[in-house]
A and B are shown apart, each in its own frame.
Chain A
């Protein structure tokens, strides 16, 4: 079945450094790739997304890149701040109708001041 692999599972960086999280997906029909941030005890919240007809998208300190040939996509956070500390999930569309999202297992990011 469809699968989304996410690495690393934990990531610790110093404030101001960059953080990169990588995901691979198995369903070649996947066409939408969102990233969610989940703080402890809270709901997942969308931070950025990319569609299959775009290779890169940027929003201030956050960027996502997509390589459809290799079936992988990455999240880049620059100039990290302590408030970036959270669990980040990648996802890709899947299922018969491509209507649902398949999530990775998450990356716990810790930004040390």
Chain B
């Protein structure tokens, strides 16, 4: 078990550019979550998948954000036409959901996005 891995660790981009982040969950986990965290705040929920199905998306999430998990394993989060307000740490987490309940969320180290 290598844990949740995210790539890249850091991304600096200019306003208006598109960026894409990748998350590889713990292999046996069927749920994958994306969160965003800014300095001094708790993680803010963006969206989550169970296998390849996107089950929920935050109502606060802009249309510029899209996430996919095409084969139910790794996931990508794309931000189009980035804005300075998108600067944050983007955290991925995974868990195992079953009829007996859910395992805790395990977080990755995050991708830090800076929009200049």
- Residue positions of A touching B, CB distance < 8 A: 1, 4, 6, 32, 34, 36, 42-46, 49, 51, 89, 91, 94-97, 99-106
Contact = CB atoms under 8 A, between A and B. Distances in A.
List of 5 A-B pairs having minimum Cβ-Cβ separation, nearest first: A103-B42, A43-B107, A46-B104, A100-B45, A89-B42
A35 to B, nearest CB: 10
Interface string B6-38: 000000000000000000000000010101000
Contacts of A42: 109
Contacts of B101: 51
Given A100-B33, A104-B42, A106-B41, A44 B55 contact: no
Interface in B60-116: 91, 97, 101-102, 104-110
Contacts of B50: 99
Given A34-B105, A101-B105, A44 B43 contact: yes
Nearest to B107: A43
Contacts, number: 58
A97 B44 CA distance: 17
B40 A106 contact: yes
Interface residues of B, number: 25
What's the dominant secondary structure at chain A's contact region?
strand
A43 B41 contact: no
Contacts of B91: 43-44
A28 B91 CA distance: 27
A32 B102 contact: yes
A100 B48 contact: yes
A97 B55 contact: yes
A101 B45 CA distance: 7
